[in-house]
Amino acid sequence: MPVELSWLIPERVLHERFYGDVTIEDIQELASTLPPFMEEGVPLIHTIIDATNVTSHPSIKDIHEHSSLRTYPNEGWRVMVGANAVARFIGSIILQVMGQRYRMYDTLDEALHFIADQDKSVDVSAYFEDTGS
């Protein structure tokens, strides 16, 4: 499955990493694994959607009709990184329809800096120390 879900900043910032040929089934699988993360996290929980290495993806129509994307009351920002222009367009429409607060950036570092600027309770320093960024 070309989707990975993990904590980038434990209990505060989720990292949804998509790569390769992403299908509706992949998006549905991700949606089904998300609730336990949202339950164990500390509000507000922010999500970085990393589409840097996506080579193909479903259409807006297919995503809207067949995926079970939802919002959570303890959810903060959703930030998309690395997507091409078409993926950014699709992502922005989906997130707008879902009523999400979202931004788009070119890199993971930019996304984390944005989240840290918006939510002072999120400490991203350990990430930058570990990665040397």
Which CATH number goes with the domain that contains 117? Answer: 3.30.750.24
Q: Residue 17 falls within a domain, yes or no? A: yes
β-strand partners of 46 = 13
At residue 128, the pLDDT reads: 86
Q: Residue 22 falls within a domain, yes or no? A: yes
Q: Residue 113 falls within a domain, yes or no? A: yes
Q: Residue 131 falls within a domain, yes or no? A: no
Q: What range defines the domain where residue 58 resides?
A: 3-126
32 torsion bin: left (phi>0), alpha (psi -120 to 50), beta (else): alpha
At residue 133, the pLDDT reads: 67
- Count: domains in the chain: 1
pLDDT at 118 exceeding the cut of 80: yes
Helices (H), the chain: 24-40, 60-66, 85-97, 108-118, 125-131
Structure confidence at residue 1 as a pLDDT band (50, 70, 90): low
Phi, psi of 97, deg, nearest 5: -60, -35
At residue 124, the pLDDT reads: 94
| Most trustworthy range by pLDDT among 6-10, 24-28, 129-133 | 6-10
Q: Residue 78 falls within a domain, yes or no? A: yes
Between 126 and 115, name the one with better pLDDT.
115
